[in-house]
Chain A
Amino acid sequence: MKYMSEYRDPELAKQYLKEIKNTVTQDWKIMEVCGGQTHTLVKNGIIDMLPKEVEMIHGPGCPVCVTPLHLIDKAIYLALEEKVILCSFGDMLRVPGAEKSLLEAKAEGGDIRILYSPLEAVKIAESNPDKEVVFFAVGFETTAPANALSVIHAHRKNLKNYSILASHVLVPPAIENVMEDPDSHIDGFLAAGHVCTIMGNLEYYPLVEKYKVPIVVTGFEPLDILQGILMVVRQLEAKKAEVENQYVRIVREEGNLEAQKMIYDVFEITDRLWRGMEVIPMSGYKVKDKYADFDATIKFKVHIPEAEENQDCIAGEIMKGIKKPVQCPEFGKKCKPTNPLGAPMVSSEGACAAYFHYSGLVEA
């Protein structure tokens, strides 16, 4: 496919790898923030072909993985309510809640619909006026405009039976959180290209200034990632710390201003709990008061106890890049995609799932 397959060329990939090898003179730890990039790295074996000096650390950029347990339990609770149709992206389905997953709730009779776009949920609400349609709106900045747009559409159509259960997280505060953690020692970052497609690059200049680390906005195909790594390594070797944009075919410096307008129409910034990590100040979006009628947390007063995380799962350390999936004692043993103990084993952006499927370390 145009603008995809040519960025997978194995010959040019080899030349990039060679150039990385020629450039590097000492050990560097580089974090790819986004789970989609983790999958490209592991799936294509790039991680094993990089020179030993370059260690890739997998970051917290998996929205499914960081959605708090309590919120998943709320979604499951709502899904089992008689008059609710719960809509969600497919990735959320198998994520374990305290007692069950959405998939198990579906088997118990919950009306759960897997959608490609939140705009479809609005259509479902329109054609089911006697039902309450709740969209489980998880995601990073990339997905926030689409989720906001669904609220704008529902508002425009004057629908009274549509709401979103919002769990939106933001990348720059997560980078800050990683840099402040004394256990993680990251020398440079590949920033998530699709997040920057929406938000632009401006938020990264203060981070570069404060932490003196290179941040390269990077795409998702193998050549994108290899070029991004090379750009970070070149900066590190030259003792530079700058914001650079590898993904120039997609990302503009200021981002997509129309999309930002929609986000700020519907959402405001709030503190947010990241599953397995902690509450990170100003790291998420919540629905603004003016759209309170479309906020499922206000519309439905769900009182369920806060459950404990599964003690065997070290997802928090995985998400912060402190440990690799293979360092988890349950990886591939008690924890598999068919029977996951934690979200990173099920999400298409989860690091544990990437290692399970592609690293050749376990028999899938």
Chain B
Amino acid sequence: MCLAIPGKINSIELQYDGKVRMAKVNFGGIVKEASLEMLPEAEIGDYVLVHVGVAISKVDEEEAHKTFKYLKEIGDLGDLVDVDDYLPQNDD
């Protein structure tokens, strides 16, 4: 139930008499609505993590590379890992 999925904000509109920001978020081709009330800083083009219709976090694009660099950072297997092979690709 804690399932949450990252998607890209396509558009933002105001609802509830302008009090609430709702976004259309693209999840690899499927577009769903998500409330931005908990992410006041989120803008069009941002990747956000959405859980039960609410965006709960912005994906940090810099930090997203860390999982691919970690083995290199800690040493041993480093030579085998070419970070560039694994970096996230844009999918829109």
List A residues at the B interface (Cβ < 8 Å): 1-4, 6-7, 9, 12, 15-16, 18-19, 22, 34, 36, 61-64, 89, 91, 116-120, 138-140, 142-143, 145-146, 149, 153, 156-157, 192, 194-195, 197-198, 220, 223-224, 227, 230, 234, 246, 248-252, 256, 258-259, 262, 347-349
Interface residues on B, range: 35 or more
**Chain A, Cβ-Cβ closest to B3:** A36
Complex contact B51–A6 (CB within 8 A): no
Do A197 and B6 form a contact, CB below 8 Å, given A89-B52, A142-B51, A149-B35?
Answer: no
User: In the complex, what residues of A have CB within 8 A of residue B18's CB?
Assistant: none
User: In the complex, what residues of A have CB within 8 A of residue B19's CB?
Assistant: 156
Complex contact A117–B80 (CB within 8 A): no
Q: Which of B42-92 contact A (CB under 8 A)?
A: 47, 49, 51-54, 56-57, 59-61, 63-64, 66-68, 70-71, 74, 76-77, 80-81, 86-91
Interface pairs (12), CB distance under 8 Å: A1-B7, A3-B59, A3-B88, A4-B6, A142-B1, A149-B35, A156-B19, A198-B56, A249-B67, A256-B39, A256-B57, A259-B56
**Chain A, Cβ-Cβ closest to B81:** A15
**Chain A, Cβ-Cβ closest to B68:** A12
Beyond the given A119-B35, A248-B63, please list 11 additional residue pairs across the A-B interface where CB-CB is below 8 A: A1-B91, A3-B6, A15-B80, A116-B52, A143-B1, A149-B38, A149-B54, A192-B2, A194-B56, A227-B67, A349-B2
Closest 4 CB pairs of A and B: A117-B53, A1-B28, A248-B63, A249-B64
User: In the complex, what residues of A have CB within 8 A of residue B80's CB?
Assistant: 15
Complex contact B52–A6 (CB within 8 A): no
Complex contact B60–A223 (CB within 8 A): no
Complex contact A117–B56 (CB within 8 A): no
Residue in B3, B74, B90 whose Cβ sees the most chain A Cβ within 10 Å? B3
User: In the complex, what residues of B have CB within 8 A of residue A63's CB?
Assistant: 1-2
User: In the complex, what residues of B have CB within 8 A of residue A61's CB?
Assistant: 2
Complex contact B67–A224 (CB within 8 A): yes
**B8 at the binding interface (Cβ < 8 Å):** yes
Q: Which of B1-43 contact A (CB under 8 A)?
A: 1-8, 16, 19-20, 27-28, 32, 35, 37-40
User: In the complex, what residues of B have CB within 8 A of residue A195's CB?
Assistant: 2
**Chain A, Cβ-Cβ closest to B47:** A3
The residue from B3, B52, B60 contacting A250, defined by CB atoms under 8 A apart: B60
User: In the complex, what residues of A have CB within 8 A of residue B35's CB?
Assistant: 119, 149
Separation of A142 and B5 alpha carbons in the complex (Å): 13
Complex contact A258–B38 (CB within 8 A): yes
The residue from B47, B56, B66, B68 contacting A248, defined by CB atoms under 8 A apart: B66
User: In the complex, what residues of A have CB within 8 A of residue B39's CB?
Assistant: 256, 258
- Cβ distance A88 to chain B, nearest Cβ, rounded Å: 11
Do A119 and B2 form a contact, CB below 8 Å, given A2-B8, A12-B68?
Answer: no
- Cβ distance A353 to chain B, nearest Cβ, rounded Å: 13
Residue in B1, B7, B54, B61 whose Cβ sees the most chain A Cβ within 10 Å? B1
Separation of A134 and B60 alpha carbons in the complex (Å): 36
**Chain B, Cβ-Cβ closest to A226:** B67
